[in-house]
Amino acid sequence: MRTIQFREAIAEAMSEEMRRDENIFLMGEEVAEYNGAYKASKGMLDEFGPKRVLDTPIAELGFAGIGVGAAMNGLRPIIEFMTFNFSMVAIDQIINNAAKMHQMSGGQFTIPIVFRGPTASAGQLGATHSQAFESWYANCPGLKVIVPSTVYDAKGLLKAAIRDQDPVIFMESEQMYGDKGEVPEGDFILPIGVADIKRAGTDVTIVSFGKIMKVALAAAEELAKDGISCEVIDLRTVRPIDYDTVIESVKKTNRLVCVEEAWPLGSISTEISYMVQKRAFDYLDAPVIRSTTADTPAAYAPTLMEAFLPNQARVIKAVREVLYVAK
């Protein structure tokens, strides 16, 4: 297969779907003339024109609302946020309108809309630009929430999101746009709500998603040198969550470590921990351990950011704890 960048996979997914369906359009800040803040819509204005690739003012609440209204009237918008930190301005439209309209209208309206853009930290950007809101949106019935970790998954899942009849939150990472990966030519769709076992193992299950999958896989690789076999599961979708894949893995390994770039209270890791103790308690040989960000706003200093985020050393320590292996 050919190798392309993450940003190219995003642009391909949107472009292929826009060629397939003239009701799809892209709207957001700098998506047109500038080819996207992260060049994830490069060439789309030239191909589809200004009626289908629209630059907006710096007004997230406004263009998110336009997108919801357009979806109610038969169109299929893709709304790009320059960062999901800025989606806080538009959260009323996302939570109170997009997520609830189907139920509140008695099924008269579907809202086939995708809100996409980068999430969480991306270097030294300060506390208000380094937040992970996956668990916030996953908490809301009516939304689907996707957080891919690979180029292949990004394309297949974004195409699925665009075709979905429900509002979908599609969360990327600024630090992944340059990542490269193999992606097949032609049309392919990945199912929403299906986790992927990125590395098979027998001693402990590690569950993660998004860019922190790199940390989880790096830790598993290092632990393998000491004969510790980690099964690493990429959730890919955090609403709906593929509980069955996690449960079956825990029944095999008897131990679980959750790794996530989010504050600990009310995190996806917390939800996974609850479901595992509910459905697989008798299989657990050790308490579940989660490795999240520190319970504080993100700092600016690189040394403090390193301490704030989950890292390889902390994941290795957590795995050794559930295995009762000291080092």
Q: What local confidence, expressed as pLDDT, does residue 159 receive?
A: 98
Q: What local confidence, expressed as pLDDT, does residue 325 receive?
A: 65
**pLDDT tier for residue 52 given thresholds of 50, 70 and 90:** very high
Reply yes or no: is the peptide bond before residue 240 cis, omega within 30 of 0: yes
| Among the listed residues 180, 188, 162, 198, the one whose alpha carbon sits nearest the alpha carbon of residue 71 | 162
- AA identity, residue 210: G
Mean pLDDT of 241-265: 97
C-alpha distances out from residue 136 to 11, 56, 85, 93, 305, Å: 26, 25, 12, 14, 22
Active site (catalytic) residues: 60, 129
Compute the distance between CA of residue 76 and CA of residue 229 in angstroms, rounded to an integer.
44
C-alpha distances out from residue 172 to 15, 74, 147, 216, 258, Å: 17, 26, 6, 17, 20
Mean pLDDT, the chain, integer: 97
Per-residue pLDDT tens over the stretch 59-82: 999 999 999 999 999 999 999 999
Q: What is the DSSP string of 155-170?
A: HHHHHHHHH-SS-EEE
Cβ–Cβ under 8 Å, residues 136 and 267: no
Residues 6+ apart with CB under 8 A from 249: 197, 205, 231, 233
Q: What local confidence, expressed as pLDDT, does residue 300 receive?
A: 95
Per-residue pLDDT tens over the stretch 292-323: 999 999 999 999 999 999 999 999 999 999 99
Cβ–Cβ under 8 Å, residues 129 and 85: yes
Kindly tell me if the per-residue pLDDT of 11 is higher than 70. yes
Domain limits of the chain?
A: 2-183, 196-323
- AA identity, residue 7: R
**pLDDT tier for residue 164 given thresholds of 50, 70 and 90:** very high
Q: What local confidence, expressed as pLDDT, does residue 186 receive?
A: 87
Q: Does 2-183 match 196-323 in CATH topology?
A: yes
pLDDT exceeding 90 applies to what percent of the chain? 98
Mean pLDDT of 195-218: 98
Domain 2-183 has CATH 3.40.30.10: no
Per-residue pLDDT tens over the stretch 85-124: 999 999 999 999 999 999 999 999 999 999 999 999 999 9
Per-residue pLDDT tens over the stretch 133-144: 999 999 999 999
Q: What local confidence, expressed as pLDDT, does residue 1 receive?
A: 85
| CATH T-level fold of 196-323 | Rossmann fold (3.40.50)
